[in-house]
Amino acid sequence: MTGMKQASDMKSERVLCKADQTGAVIKFVADGLGDNVEEYIPALAIGIYEGEKLIGGVLINDIREKRDCWLTIYTSTPKWAKRHVMRYVFGVVFNLIRCERCSVFVSESNKKSLDMCLRLGFKKEGLLRCYRDNGENCYVLGMLKSECIWSK
């Protein structure tokens, strides 16, 4: 899982995925979401880089190998959402860890993230009322391995 993967269809900008064991990606995600770093340890961390600049992170949390996991995603730009990035992330989830499902939380007001997750293949599974610290509702979305078009 270590190493970098380069987009073959990208000419001017290279977006790379890299497994991170230094804690830098966990810190980037936690800072971006305004959370405490300790909330995400231990997590499997995948950094998404444009050249050398970290533009996003995917944390794979609460892993129950051969069963399920949760994803926490934070990015500073929509440039991260490339096909090869999706294949890398979901390949780790469904092929390396061998989960049968993965889940995400999305705040009800975060329409862009909700739309993106639905386009990726996640399904709405529930609404947690007053879930966030500020009282905001939060959707629970899930994707089964059999539904994932990215890891095949």
Tell me, what's the pLDDT at 146? 96
Q: Where are the domains of the chain?
A: 4-147
Tell me, what's the pLDDT at 10? 38
Tell me, what's the pLDDT at 54? 96
Question: What Cα–Cα distance (Å) separates residue 68 from each residue in 53, 83, 87, 126, 135?
Answer: 30, 22, 18, 17, 27
For residue 82, report the phi and psi dihedrals to the nearest 5 degrees: -105, 155
Which segments of the chain have a pLDDT < 50?
Answer: 1-12
**CATH code of the domain made up of 4-147:** 3.40.630.30
Tell me, what's the pLDDT at 12? 46
Tell me, what's the pLDDT at 13? 60
Q: Which two tokens stand for residue 88?
A: 């890398």
